[in-house]
Amino acid sequence: MAKGIARLGILHTLLLITHGASAATVGDLLISEIMVNPAAVSDSRGEWFELYNPSGDEINLRGITIGDDGGDRHRIESDLLILPAHFLTLARNGDAAVNGGFGADYVYDDFTLSNAGDEILLLDGTLELLRLEYGSDFAAAGQSVELVGLPMIAANYGLTPASLNYGRGDIGTPGAPGSARLAPSAVPLPAAAWLFVTAILAIFKVIPAASSGIHAVSSVIPAASGVYPSAPDVIPAAPDVIPAQAGISHPPDSSSAWPDPIRRAGRIQSA
């Protein structure tokens, strides 16, 4: 009996170690912001949504399908990296001159965000990795909604504050941190770290005014080492499968005085 318990203990420890060592996956990403109903331009030009990688691993979206419960399907056919602690903006139109004035990291087709309620799914074939569903009362015209708490359900999104506008005047922070409305202790790590970081950025007023500044902002996210419990020195493996010109989420600016977030970010602790 005692042996059996000991074996179970060892097995449990091994499982913990194995789990702790596994890399983050698409299912660990967060849909951090959504522009369902742009006002400065038409929906066919101005819809977008933003992903955030709260983990310490880079995640490649190649092969992932963006879809909904209806017939919308768009498969990402090329490498599309989202780096640790970085945002990635996926949009219907990547031309800042016509999409309302923001820089897109990736442009999709065959996927729309209905103003009357819809879903955003990330799928691996038919396997659902990430889901957000929202109703008709979710969004407002010309104003994005941002994730302000966990879990990632519609009730935990809020309208982006009107002071955070971009390009031609719609409200949102595509590719950059938004506002923080929750105390870090109110959400599990590492999302707490993300909210902490956005609060710090808000204090320093590092808020983008136009598309030209958006990428620079996300590159100066300070390391949140004070928030992570142990902050292991996780350095992702060299991205040897990623061509130089692949879509990469806002790589850190080498001229920035801030430390490289990749070297400081803690590992995601999957629930």
CA dihedral 90, 93, 98, 100 (to 10 degrees): -30
Separation of alpha carbons 78 and 64, rounded Å = 10
Closest CB to Ca ion among residues 57, 68? 68
CB of 207 to Ca ion, least distance (A): 10
CB of 232 to Ca ion, least distance (A): 27
Encode 171-204: b = buried (16+ Cβ within 10 Å), e = exposed. bbbbbbbbbbebebeebebbbbbbbbbbbebbee
Closest CB to Ca ion among residues 199, 242? 199
CB of 195 to Ca ion, least distance (A): 12
Closest CB to Ca ion among residues 43, 253? 43
**Site residues (vs Ca ion, CB under 5 A):** 33, 37, 43, 50, 113, 115, 173, 178
CB of 108 to Ca ion, least distance (A): 14
Closest CB to Ca ion among residues 72, 231? 72
CB of 32 to Ca ion, least distance (A): 6
Closest CB to Ca ion among residues 182, 234? 182
CB of 144 to Ca ion, least distance (A): 7
Closest residue (Cβ) to Ca ion? 173
**Percent helix, strand and coil across the chain, each to the nearest 5:** 20, 20, 60
- Residues in Cβ contact with 270 at an 8 Å cutoff, skipping those fewer than 6 apart: 19, 24, 28
Class of residue 154 by CB neighbours under 10 A (exposed 0-12, middle 13-18, buried 19+):
middle
Please give the C-alpha separations between residue 26 and each of 64, 109, 117, 201, in angstroms, as whole numbers.
9, 20, 23, 26
Cβ pair 58, 239 in contact under 8 A: yes
Closest CB to Ca ion among residues 78, 136? 136
Cβ pair 80, 106 in contact under 8 A: yes
